[in-house]
Amino acid sequence: MSDRIPPLAVRLLSRRLPPEWQDFILGDLEEEFRARAASAPAAARRWLWGQVLRCLITPPAPSRPASRSRPGPRGDSFMRTLLSDARHALRVFTRTPSYAVAVVAVLALGIGANTAIFSIVNAVLLRPLPFEAPGRLVRLFHIPPQATFPGMATFSLSPANFLDWQRESRSFEAMAAYSFRQLTLTGAGNAEALRVAVVGPEFFRIVRTQPALGRTFLPEEHEPERSRVLVVSDGFWRSHLGGARDAVGRTLTFDGQAFTVVGVMPPQFSVRAWGATTVPMWRPLAWTGKERAVRENHNYQAIGRLADGVSLGAAKAELEVISKRLERQYPADNAGWGGTAIPLQELLVGDVRTSLWILLGAVALVLLIACANVGNLILARSMGRQKELAIRAALGAGRRRVFQHLIVESLVLALAGGALGLFLAGWAISTGRTMLEDQVPRAGEASLDVRVLLFVAGASLLTGVLAGAIPALRAGRTDLNDTLKEGGRSDASGAGSFTRRVLIVAEVALSLMLLMGAGVMLRSLHNLRNVDAGFNPRGVLKVEITLPDARYKEPAQIRGFFDALLERVRALPGVVSAGMIDTLPATGGGSVQPIVVEGRPELKPSEQPTVSVRFGGGGYIKTMEIPLLAGRDFIAADAEAMLISASAAKLLWGDADPLGKRVTLPLISRELKIEVIGIVGDVREQLSEQAPPTVYYYKRDLPFGQTAVAIRSAGDPLLLARPVIAAVRAMDRDLPVQEVRTMDQVIEETLVAERFRALLLQIFAGAALALASVGIYSVLSYLVRGRRREIGIRTALGARTGDVVRMVVIEGLKPALLGIALGAAGALLAARLLEKMVFGVTATDPLTLTAVAFTLLAVSVAASLVPAWRASKLDPLIVLRDS
Amino acid sequence: MWFKSKTAALGDFEQLVLLGVLRLADEAYGASIRQEIHARSGRDVSINAVYTTLDRLEGKGLLRSWVGEPTAQRGGRRRKFYAVTPAGVSAVRHAYLALRSMADGLEDRLGAK
């Protein structure tokens, strides 16, 4: 018989033993086995297999480096203990699933909500625009003279000024002007009005995007007579041209004229936020000589690409210099008009930037509260496990080891929460995206990309550490002797409960800040909804109609059409009145023009006062129920007349009577002298902004081909939609009818951003409140459990139910009150962030703060009552016997 | 820290191992220590327990070790030798003195005379 140890034993041990021990242990076993086998082979074999088995079951830990000063796990062995801690944590959780599920659910909600908001922040603020070197793209603007356009930071460009900028500036690789027109597509079913971007020759070169099919515009196509060519969007190519490869070269009929498709842009070119790319098609900008010379009328947008090595500041400075020179050269038109450049990205998302960061901050607070709650749960559990931890310590586990063990447990929970949260976020993103994409620029691009995934991983790890750190530190400080001596009895008045109270204070304080934000937002939304806009939107239906220039050339034709249409509409059953206007309030846009009062010295255009100019006719004022303050409305006999708003009257005439006075709108014609026939109430164009001074101008032979018709209904205005559309179609089958909506809907749509903000803050605040009340409840329950004995003695000594309830509730209210005080201070500090977003209420509104504080107080009392009631029901006999 | 005294407190088995190494002087390695403990205390411990403890004591600075040459007797494998450091001697002395003074006068009752 061989006196060597069996190969099987060697193989098994080689697998199981840490490599650094293999030589020594196998050598020792072989040496002793040989010695034993010499006398008693069978017993030696039994002895050997016994040893092998024991080695297999509990192999020695991997050797630690002989560091004298700091014995402890490192490197490979650190990973091993980490993994073994994680495995242990999973085993513990399968034994107590309800605890694990509660923690994971709370964290999943917190992390999920954070991820969803972050993915929007990521898409809107962090992800670069899908153009080559997007950081070099800037939009170019005039800075208008502040005397005439108070508060306006940017203004559109006039063709002549743009051409001068383009010629003289050296800071830009290229500049392109563009604007928008409406074209009516006919010859394919119902007529369809399409918004078209008319773009200068350098436009596509500046955005550096190649068409997917065909080409962009040739230089000669920017001549007026050769400009009937189109580049279409990917969306239009699919919906209207069947996605055909041979779509290039086809002709489409717009307003009775044939246009040739020369190119198709790729899908990613449609950047939602930027109007110049979301249109279905582009046409060459082809200025006539006369148009190129226009300097006083500002109605073109412009984009530029900064030249290599030129900073934004340098480019701005150059535009200012050129503007100054133009001011000197054309003082009548350009006095006071500066120039500036703003990065495209900043412009697209500037408005929502603060909003989004605030929401991210709010949702991060929710996560913090969730962390505090989970920290509480873990703490409660680790208190219950003090004995287990003490035994671990007695067996040689260092404080660092116990800390690591508990942190790993909380990390395992947090990572599970993060994984689940990721699913929740995915769902929330796909739901929220469709809701938001029209409201928040680029929000439609929100998705779970690498950055979002990194965010989830980071948030989960941070959450795990935050939630686990306090319990783990506390557990490490546990006095070994006391714990073992007391036989696991936890003491409720000790340091553990101090930590818990601190967590409650934090939860309540954070909740108060969120509630305050939500409260202020709700009040602001309420104020906006109830603001007196100057007209009555209830019961009004609006439709937009665009008469194609090609078929409606003569003013008489246009006037005839609208007169007949209004007549038909007014005859419909249920219609109270109807009128038309070029731009309805709350729909954006509309013309702002200088105005000259007859008989006063003519000022330079840049110094003339400006007013909003609405082109309308009879019936509009009545339909919108805008109060007529003096004079009369337009009547059919008027050839030309003007109504002015109260603030316009004040601006132009002060306290003098404007009725019968005459004015000129120089941008329309210097020859016109328009008589003021009435004064009407002020109308807000944006609910949150003051009503601008406005004039309503009617001229029989200067009708607008693009008009909104407002119809007041006796009943539900939407019931009129069908008959109104039928009336339009009956007059002209090829007319597109757009935007058939009630004015209430129009106004509600302008509030989407506010509603969205208020809704999310409400959800976050609700979640925070729920988490905080659960936190208070669980801590008090725990405290009451720890003080059973004391409460029992009190009851035995004659304390009544009310005394016990009061005692416990006060116990719970102390940290809650401290939290409310700290939260109020925090809310007042954070109010500065909200100040710009609220309307009709200050972000530090004392009423809201009081209401919120009382809500939290009430919730705290309610959360304390159950444990208090339970405490009062303790039977002193049972309690004292048990202890 | 839980353990405040300067001299590391020793577990029961740690004392046995340290004493074993002291007894064996230059010949202290896994198998010899195991056999020494078995022979003197009657405890037939597993070799892995011996190594785990040796390693821990070395980590605490109570032992030092070196590796010997491979021998045929061990199938060409090497030995790892241990020696007690001054701190180790002091720790064993501490434990021994504590036990002796606690047991002082109890020999009759313990039946250990």
Side-chain half-sphere exposure of A697, counting CA atoms within 13 A: 29
3-state secondary structure of A169: coil
Percent of chain A scored above 70 by pLDDT? Answer: 92
- Rounded to whole angstroms, the Cα distance separating A471 from A383 reads 9
Residues paired with A138 in a beta bridge: A304, A343
- The DSSP code sequence of chain B is ----SSSPP--HHHHHHHHHHHHHGGG-BHHHHHHHHHHHH-----HHHHHHHHHHHHHTTSEEEEE---BGGGTSB--EEEEE-HHHHHHHHHHHHHHHHHHTT-HHHHT--
> Chain B residue with minimal CA distance to A50?
B46
Burial per residue of A590-628, b for 16 or more beta-carbon CB atoms within 10 angstroms, e otherwise: bbbbbbbbeeeeeeebbebebbbbbbbbbbbbbbbbbee
Q: Is B113 exposed, middle or buried (0-12, 13-18, 19+ CB in 10 A)?
A: exposed
Higher-pLDDT residue of A261, A2? A261
pLDDT band of residue A313 (cuts 50, 70, 90) is very high
- Give residues with Cβ within 8 angstroms of A473, minimum separation 6: A403
User: What residues of B are in contact with residue A61 (Cβ under 8 Å)?
Assistant: 52, 55
Higher-pLDDT residue of A83, A620? A620
pLDDT band of residue A490 (cuts 50, 70, 90) is very low
Phi, then psi, of A263 in degrees rounded to 5: -160, 160
pLDDT, position A829: 87
Phi, then psi, of A70 in degrees rounded to 5: -130, 80
- Rounded to whole angstroms, the Cα distance separating A470 from A407 reads 9
Helices marked H in A437-538: 450-477, 480-485, 495-530
- Rounded to whole angstroms, the Cα distance separating A748 from A275 reads 22
pLDDT band of residue A77 (cuts 50, 70, 90) is low
Length of chain A: 883
- Rounded to whole angstroms, the Cα distance separating A640 from A597 reads 16
Distance from CA of B105 to the nearest CA of A (A): 28
CB contact under 8 A, A59 and B59: no
Query: Per residue in A389-425, pLDDT tens?
Result: 777 777 777 777 778 888 888 888 888 888 998 888 8
pLDDT, position A162: 93
- Work out whether the CA dihedral A523, A528, A529, A530 comes out positive or negative: positive
CA neighbor of A339 nearest in space, from A159, A170, A156:
A156
In chain B, which residues touch A (CB < 8 A)?
1-2, 11, 29-31, 34-35, 46-49, 51-52, 55-56, 58-61, 64-65, 71, 73-75, 77-80
- Rounded to whole angstroms, the Cα distance separating A878 from A603 reads 96
Please give the average per-residue pLDDT across A196-204, as a whole number. 91
Higher-pLDDT residue of A626, A114? A626
**Bridge pairing between strands A694-699 and A610-615:** parallel
The distance of Cα A118 from the centroid of its chain, to the nearest Å, equals 9
**Residue of A13, A17, A20, A25 to mutate for B, most B C-beta atoms under 10 A:** A25
Q: Is A758 exposed, middle or buried (0-12, 13-18, 19+ CB in 10 A)?
A: buried
User: What residues of A are in contact with residue B47 (Cβ under 8 Å)?
Assistant: 25, 28-29, 51, 54-55
pLDDT, position A494: 54
pLDDT band of residue A741 (cuts 50, 70, 90) is confident
Percent of chain A scored above 90 by pLDDT? Answer: 16
pLDDT, position A686: 81
CB contact under 8 A, B48 and A60: yes
Q: Is the pLDDT of residue A489 over 70?
A: no
Query: Per residue in A796-832, pLDDT tens?
Result: 888 888 888 888 888 888 888 999 999 999 988 888 8
> Chain A residue with minimal CA distance to B31?
A28
pLDDT, position A493: 46
The number of beta carbons lying within 10 Å of the beta carbon of residue A435 is: 12
User: What residues of B are in contact with residue A29 (Cβ under 8 Å)?
Assistant: 31, 47
Query: Per residue in A753-810, pLDDT tens?
Result: 777 778 878 888 888 888 888 777 877 777 777 777 788 888 888 888 888 888 888 8
Query: Per residue in A564-622, pLDDT tens?
Result: 999 999 999 989 999 989 888 887 777 888 888 888 887 776 677 888 899 888 789 99
C-beta separation of A528 from A693 below 8 A: no
Maximum average pLDDT range among A7-16, A123-132, A747-756, A779-788: A7-16
Query: Per residue in A610-661, pLDDT tens?
Result: 888 998 887 899 999 999 999 898 887 888 899 999 999 998 888 889 899 9
- Give residues with Cβ within 8 angstroms of A182, minimum separation 6: A193, A194, A195, A196, A546, A706
Please give the average per-residue pLDDT across A346-370, as a whole number. 79
Amino acid at site A825: A
The distance of Cα B42 from the centroid of its chain, to the nearest Å, equals 15
CA–CA distances in Å: residue B89 to residues A555, B34, B49, B92, B113 = 114, 19, 21, 5, 26
Q: Is A76 exposed, middle or buried (0-12, 13-18, 19+ CB in 10 A)?
A: exposed
- Rounded to whole angstroms, the Cα distance separating A63 from A20 reads 7
- Rounded to whole angstroms, the Cα distance separating A258 from A219 reads 20
CA–CA distances in Å: residue A539 to residues A409, A526, A623, A741, B59 = 61, 20, 10, 11, 86
3-state secondary structure of A604: coil
- Rounded to whole angstroms, the Cα distance separating A617 from A628 reads 14
Of A27, A64, A393, the CB nearest to B78: A27
Quote helix, strand, coil % in chain A, to nearest 5.
55, 15, 30
The number of beta carbons lying within 10 Å of the beta carbon of residue A882 is: 10
Q: pLDDT truncated to tens, each residue of chain B (113 aa)? A: 333 445 667 888 999 999 999 999 888 999 999 999 999 988 888 898 899 899 889 988 899 998 888 888 888 888 999 999 998 999 999 889 988 888 888 888 888 76
pLDDT band of residue A367 (cuts 50, 70, 90) is confident
First to last CA, chain B: 39
Cα A549–Cα A550–Cα A554 angle in degrees, nearest 5:
65
C-beta separation of A340 from A316 below 8 A: yes
Q: Is the pLDDT of residue A486 over 70?
A: no
- The DSSP code sequence of A657-668 is --TT-EEE-TTT
- Average pLDDT of chain A is 83
Any idea which of A1-15, A528-542, A657-671 has the lowest mean pLDDT?
Answer: A1-15
CA neighbor of A118 nearest in space, from A481, A572, A342, A426:
A426
pLDDT, position A432: 74
First to last CA, chain A: 66
Residues paired with B66 in a beta bridge: B81
Distance from CA of A765 to the nearest CA of B (A): 42
Query: Per residue in A443-462, pLDDT tens?
Result: 777 777 888 888 888 888 88
* Six-digit token string for A194: 């399409």
CA–CA distances in Å: residue A113 to residues A35, A418, A754, B6 = 69, 11, 19, 52
pLDDT band of residue A298 (cuts 50, 70, 90) is confident
Higher-pLDDT residue of A147, A561? A561
- Rounded to whole angstroms, the Cα distance separating A30 from A454 reads 53
* Six-digit token string for A846: 């004392």
CB contact under 8 A, A55 and B46: yes
Of A32, A68, A480, the CB nearest to B2: A480
